[in-house]
Every structure is written in structure tokens, then in C-alpha cells.
Amino acid sequence: MAKIHNLGFPRIGARRELKFALERYWKGDDTADQLEAVATALRKENWERQKQAGLNLIPVGDFSFYDQVLDTSFLLGNIPTRFQNSPSVSTLNQYFRVARGLSPDPQAEPVRAAEMTKWFDTNYHYLVPEFEAETQFELNPERLLNQIKEAQDLGYAAKPVILGPLSYLWLGKGHSGIQPLDLLEQLIPLYSRLLSEISRLGVEWLQIDEPILALDLPDSWKKAFEVTYHQLRHPGLKILMATYFGPLADNLTTIAHLPVEGLHIDAVRGRDEVTIVLDKISGYKTISLGVIDGRNIWRSDLNALLQWLKPIHEKLGDRLWLAPSCSLLHVPVDLEQEDQLPEGVAGWLSFAQQKLEELNILAIALNDGEDKVAGQLDVNASAIFNRRHSSLVNNVSVKEKLAQLGDDSFFRSDTFEVRRQLQHQALGLPLFPTTTIGSFPQTADIRRQRQQFKSGEISQEQYHQAMQEEIRKAVAEQEALDIDVLVHGEAERNDMVEYFGEQLDGYCFSRYGWVQSYGSRCVKPPIIYGDVARPKAMTVAWTQFAQEQTLRPMKGMLTGPITMLQWSFVRDDQPREQTAWQIALALQEEVLDLEQAGIRIIQMDEPALREGLPLRKSEWKNYLAWATRAFRLSVYGVQPATQIHTHMCYSEFNDIIGAIAELDADVITIETSRSDMELLDAFVNFSYPNDIGPGVYDIHSPNIPTQRAIVELMEKALKHIPAQQLWINPDCGLKTRGWDEVRPALRAMVNAAKALRLRHE
């Protein structure tokens, strides 16, 4: 009899209850007990949802106040030294201090927050573990154990979920010559003790996530799996090793004979590998197939899945488990809330709750016969057919434009050196020019006016006038701070992807389709269901209005094609590169209209370029080829005197620096503040030809940088990059910060630039 289970459920709540509880606590409006009460209620709701969906085993330990990797650091007592100077701070506040650099506890000094980076190739961010010479692990299992008891007391069949020791070490960063794998010997006894504690609670199955098995691993790490899991065997406790985000490939041999009782594999991204896995894995092991896509929102073709699963079920019997491909953290909670999707599109979609229901249909069909769910299977077949043949999906003119592209459609006609001279003459900027990344604080007043406009309380004209006033304020603030290149502040924009998607054909938006990006930061990804086209200009009027308020250069702000792709739920019925190029053509029209309106600096943000990389290096070349072409296509046709900027954040650049150069942006701005300029190591052995703005101000922390700190960071940058190539800017947009933080931070940034000019002119 096939069983169904889940690897993890969204923790933010169907209406972002966790987000709002966290932010109330950080502001001091709620107590720790009130925050814990919200968390307890959400866990119970999530467990009940999964039980009602028919799951045989329910994940426990997937809930987090901020990030599951940070939870593991606290579970293992791995707190970086710089956070240990306030022993009176509560564990909860210390946790938020590591995540944000600041906590509600007034006794806790502000400190540099832990580095944050992307979770594999998703849009989720995790807090990077730090390993120092002083690192000593200490098991703190109480929070996890209490959640297991909490679930058991409520009558749920708990399957605890923890991050495996090897993935934890791999995801971390060693300092002062520390190699993470060298710490494994110290870590294994703690995991062994943890398994003992879990076993004492009567738990039958424990899920240990080792997602690094989807990566290219050195031999030393492969060997470490055998050493580790032979030592982690525990009588009475069965281990389900979970891998996801891709096939095992050469790592299958590594784990085929490990002494674990079960193996979960991603049967969406690694479906072609399933037959090989079944042949190689020992006959006693439980095989969990991740057959429902945990990372996208399209309804699964259940009838096709059943035909594929039937012979597998006949072979495995009770040893077959079914699950989503990965944690459902990456999709919204419940489609049933949605009431504003285009007619027809909703029937093509499946959110977390619906994905569990799809699993249940599959299990019933396999275990009891398809006739038991014949009605559900017919509805599913109809939805799949309708989507495939819908006129909403296909736009003939867009396909014709793509077909007409030639090789010369992807390259600017002049070299960067020619463009630099023309841009210098046109713009007249000083050494170390200052700018910001695009957005300014989305104040309560701005959000209120947007809500009033959406609800019909104010007219479009009133909203338009209110946003123009916000633009005037943003321009005046920048001029008062003496910033060299201005932005309009993006007051009218709800989100850097959603704003554009709302104005493009082929896109639609959910009302409550929020997913967690990091901490309390939630995003509502657009849904790309059809061919993409631009019916009319999207940003020109706002940018032109902003330029009219100042004599200084005003940047036009756009989101690039790869980020528009990567931060959306993308149609899965055509290659991603075709969708990317469709978006690029739409953006190209906007770029040329901005230039025609007199805007001489245009920023095409691509923070998601690296996160789109396939996990296996053998596939990088193909992805980078079409991704960089999409960027160049989006700015093709601009005059050489028009300066093109791009922005990237929270990415390691060393291994793709050549591709970044291939973008041929005149200026690239990147995140470097949290990594203390370490990201600039990429430029040591690579002579990057164009201009660079290394971020000097960490906008994801409420800490305000000093002039001295910014100068010190820039002096580090100057060791790698000539002064003539350097810009000074924050590491990301300022949307989430308040003006009381932004003003002093930008003042320090401008003063640092002026000090550097005196030193280096």
C-alpha cells in the first residue's frame, strides 16, 4: 500500500500571519509569548491541513521563525563569536540578532548580521553558517523536541525533519583557513545524540535532508557520506534521507548502499533517473518519489502520472511512498482563497494544499483503484487539455518576433571603451560617483494610498498625483544628500517583478499567493501562463516626470528578463529560454522608449542571474549562453552614449565572472557589505573591463553604516579595482528601510565618496 507524506509545509500562514507577528515583535508591539502563540497556532493549522489531506506522515521541524539553516546553527550551538558579547540576551533575541544584526533587546549591541545567500537555485534565502577556529558545537535540541511532543500530543503522526550534517557543513563558510568538512568528526556525535533524543519520543521515521546530493561533490565529501551514516545508525529509528532539486547522477553510487531505511528523490527534475535508482537501491529500502512539483504551481497531469507509477507500485508495494519533489515552502498555501485570477487560469493551478490533495488522489488510485477517484481524474484531465489548447496561451505575433531574431540582435554596436568616453562626456560624473539601487522607503503613507486606490477609495488621478508628490520628495532628498545619479524612488511600484508583470500580456497575479523569501520578507510571484508582450509603456511617464524635477541624471529602473523569469512561476510547456527572450523583447521596447524620452542612464536589474544556474556545472554553459543573450537583447538598439547599469545581490560571482562580463553592462552594482568585500575576490584574477559599484551599505540590516566603515570597505575594493571604475552605492534597494535609517546611511555614503575623491584624485 503506497503511503503519502510531505517534506515541509509553508510556515508563513495563508494570510502571512507569521510575517506580521514577527514584525510586531521586532517593533516591540508584541511580547515573545505572543509571538510564540502565533507560531503554535500556525503549526497546528499546518499539521491539521496535512492530516485532512490524507497524509500518512506529517513533517515536524519544518516550521521556523526565520530560516531552517539558522535553526540548525542554533540546534548545534554554532553561534559566531561576534554575537557572544551580550550573554544576557534571550535565545530568541540572539537568534534574530544573528539574522538581522539587531534584536528587540536593548542590551544587545548592533552587529554585522550573518551572511545571506540563495538556497540552491530557488528564490529562498538562508543564513550562512560560519565556522571559525573557535567553533565548538553544543547540542540544543529542546525546541525541536518540544515541537515533536506538541504534534504527538495533538495526535499527529510526526515525521521530524532535520538538515543533515554534510549539507549543513557544505552550506557554511570557513574562516581563517577552516575547512568545513574538517568539522564533521566533531559534529557526528551531536547528531547521534539528537537521534537518540528523537527515538526516545517514540518516533518511527526521521527525515534527514541532504540536498547537496543534487550537486557536483568532491570525492572527499562523497566518502564522508558513508562514514557519517554508518555512525548515525540508531536502533528503532528509521532514517529517510531526502534529496531534491535535481537528479542524484554520480552521487547515486555514493548513497546506494548507505544504511538508511529510506530514500526520497526528486522525481520531477530527476524522473529519467528513477528506473536506475530502483535497480541500484537495496531491496529493503523504502523509496519516496517526489512526483508533485514542489517549486511550481501548475496542476499535475495525474492520469499520466498514474500510468507511470503503476508498474513501480507493483514492484515496490508498501515500500513506495509519494510526496512533493521538495518542501512546499516554495509555493503559496491555498488556491481556494483566490477570487481574482483570469477566468480559466485558476483551473490550471495547484498551491500547497492542492498539491497534497493531488497526492491523495494518486494514493487512492494506486491502493484502491482508479474508479474510486474517477471524478477527480476526469476533472484533472479536462484541466490539462484546456490549458494545452487555450487561446490565452498563444500569441502569434510574439512567436513571429522571436523567429526573426538574428545573431546581430544580441550585441551593442560599440565597444565599452568607446561607450565610456561618450558617456563621460554626456554625464560629466565625478570620481567615485554615488547612486542608489532604485527604491526608497515604502512608507506607511505610500502603502495606505496604494491600498485606497485598489479599494476604490481614491481615484486613479488622485493616486497618480500622490505618487508624483512622493517622487518630488525622493528627488529633493537625494539632492539634499548630494547624490550624483538619482532615482525616482519607485513609490508607485508594489514589487520589482509584480509591477512589470501587471502590465505585460501573458502574466497574471494571485491575490494571496505569497511565498517566503527570507525572514518576514514575502513575495507574491507573478504567474507566466502565456506568451509575453508589452501592450504599452510601463515606466516612461514616471521616469520622465522625475527627470523634470532635477538637472542631475535620473536613472530609468527596469527589472531584467532573467529576474522576471526566475522570480515568477513560469509556464512549463515551453523551454525557459523562449519565455526569457519574449520578456527581453518586451523590455527592449521599454528601454528604447525611455531613451527616446531623454533618459540617459537605464538600469536593468538582474539579481537572479546566478540563482538560475543549473546545479550541475555541466549544464551551466548552455544556461549562461541564453541568459546573457536575453539581457543583451533587452538593451539592444540603445545609443552608445546611453549608460546601461545592472544590479546583482547575494550571489557568489567567482565562477561566473566571465558570463557577467558577457552581459556588457556599462556599470554593474553588486552586494559586498555582508561579505566584507569578499565577493570582490572574483576580480583578482579576472580583469573586469567595465565599471563596478560594490555595495557598501547592507540594507537588509537596520544597522546604519558610518563614513569610516564605508571608506574602509572601498579601500579594500581599491586593492582589486582602479578608482576610475568604481561607483559607490548601497547593496540593494531601500524599499524595506525607513527614512530615519536611510538618510544618515546615505549621508555617510556621500561623505565617504567625497573623502575618497580627496585621497585619490
**Among all chains, which residue has been given the C-alpha cell 481524474?**
377
Sign of CA dihedral 624, 628, 633, 637: negative
Instruction: For residue 720, give every residue at least 6 positions away whose Cβ sits within 8 Å of its Cβ, in sequence order, or none.
Output: 680, 681, 683, 684
CA separation for the pair 378, 147 (Å, rounded): 40
For the chain (761 residues), the mean pLDDT of every run of 10, in chain order, is 97 97 96 98 98 98 98 97 80 94 81 90 94 92 98 98 98 93 97 97 98 97 96 94 97 92 97 94 92 98 98 96 98 95 93 98 98 98 94 90 87 92 95 94 92 92 96 97 96 90 94 95 94 97 97 97 95 95 97 98 92 92 96 96 88 77 90 62 72 82 86 87 92 88 95 94 76
pLDDT at residue number 564? 96
CA separation for the pair 515, 509 (Å, rounded): 13
Contact 689, 646 (CB under 8 A): no
Contact 92, 105 (CB under 8 A): no
Catalytic residue among 125, 264, 313, 700: 700
CA separation for the pair 74, 142 (Å, rounded): 11
CA separation for the pair 739, 712 (Å, rounded): 24
Report helix angle 68-75 to 91-100, nearest 10. 130
pLDDT at residue number 320? 97
* H-only helix segments in 533-687: 540-547, 561-566, 576-596, 620-634, 657-663
Q: Is 5 a catalytic residue?
A: no
Other residues' Cβ atoms within 10 Å of the Cβ of residue 200: 11
Instruction: For residue 259, give every residue at least 6 positions away whose Cβ sits within 8 Å of its Cβ, in sequence order, or none.
Output: 229, 230, 233
Contact 624, 577 (CB under 8 A): no
Other residues' Cβ atoms within 10 Å of the Cβ of residue 14: 20
Give me 299's grid cell: 496542476
- State whether residue 645 is helix, strand or coil: strand
Phi, psi of 572 (to 5 degrees): -110, 15
CA separation for the pair 193, 183 (Å, rounded): 17
- DSSP classification of residue 460: H
> Strands 116-118 and 125-127: what pairing?
antiparallel
**Among all chains, which residue has been given the C-alpha cell 536611510?**
742
- State whether residue 251 is helix, strand or coil: helix
Give me 600's grid cell: 540617459
pTM for this model (two decimals)? 0.88
pLDDT at residue number 281? 87
Instruction: Tell me which residue of 26, 43, 35 sits closest to 149, measured CA to CA.
Output: 43
Q: How many residues does the chain have?
A: 761
CA separation for the pair 311, 315 (Å, rounded): 6
Phi, psi of 239 (to 5 degrees): -105, 125
CA separation for the pair 18, 67 (Å, rounded): 13
Element (H, E) at 555: strand 555-559
Instruction: Tell me which residue of 561, 715, 721 sits closest to 657, measured CA to CA.
Output: 721
CA separation for the pair 732, 437 (Å, rounded): 6
> Strands 505-508 and 527-533: what pairing?
antiparallel
DSSP states along 144-161 = HHHHHHHHHHTT--EEEE
Sheet strands (E) in 426-554: 505-508, 515-518, 521-523, 527-533
Q: How many CA atoms lie within 13 A of 421 on its CB side?
A: 4
CA separation for the pair 255, 160 (Å, rounded): 21
